[in-house]
A = this chain, B = another copy of it.
Amino acid sequence: MSKIRLGIVGLGKIARDQHLGAIEATDGIELTAVASRNAKLEGVHCFHDIDEMLASGVELDAISLCTPPQGRFAQAKAAIEAGKHVMLEKPPGATLSEVFALEKLAKAKGLSLFATWHSRGAAGVEPARALLAKRKIKSASVAWKEDVRHWHPGQAWIWEPGGLGVFDPGINALSIVTRIMPETFHLTHSDLTIPSNRAAPIAANLTFETASGLPIAAEFDWRQTGPQTWDIRVETEEGSVVLTHGGSRLIVDGEAQIVEEDREYRNLYRDFVALVSKGESDTDFSPLVHVADAFMLGRRIETEAFED
């Protein structure tokens, strides 16, 4: 099979920091075009938006959407209707209804749709998954605590409805937990702490139960100063399996393991090439489903106003 000719839509920070280098480093795919309202890229076809890109006559096999989730449905739909395979940044959309609609549309057209979760490419994730498949799990807990002032300075939109607040990083934790746990799980309790002057939560306290009744606790907090915490701890009858540093380090029964270096976005493009060549899709929307459940079941607790 010849190389996948790829168009990127959205040339913001995530595209420049992660996607461009990962595409460059991946066999079987090459960047052919970009669409961006403000930016251009040398050496490839540049367009103002996806409609111009699709109408241009430049031959493309696939589109990678690096735009914010709001408004992405129309772009993904246009790409699929034009016969292109589609790769979606996380979260895959602003609503569940729209991503389920895209899933059906891609299936009907026989195209690959890939809802990506870059944190699943962190070095410890697949080893943890393999280990947990063989162990008897007792419980799990997640602590995802970071300083929003450091990571999202002045980004007003993350505090707006649909911006998801602390679930913007929290969904990364959920994307790992849904990957490493052998069982599905569902929310049983959700406390959302919301600043008095904002629409989205600054902290969330969640309790889940696996299908067989095991407890999973998750604490997301955006008010952490000093050391940052991105840890997932699974207690098993054979000992503990702990992922730290966002999944990049693995500690088994108290002993740090040697793991590969992180290849988050290179893994995504390698997987996308494989999906397209096999004519398959990967549309695991479960992290976003858990977030929607957390809002639907959430008890709102007002806290002091947040200013950047």
Contact = CB atoms under 8 A, between A and B. Distances in A.
A270 interface: no
A306 interface: no
Interface string A202-233: 00000000010100000000000000000000
> In the assembly, how many copies of this chain are there?
2
A21 interface: no
Interface string A91-118: 0011111101100110000000000000
Contacts of A74: 213
B300 A296 contact: no
Q: Give the interface size class of chain A.
A: 35 or more
Contact of A101 (B95, B186, B190, B292): B186
Given A190-B161, A295-B292, A184 B300 contact: no
Contact of A286 (B73, B97, B286, B295): B97
A93 B190 CA distance: 16
A77 interface: yes
Contacts of A104: 184
Contacts of A290: 97
Nearest to A290: B97
Interface string A22-37: 0000000000000000
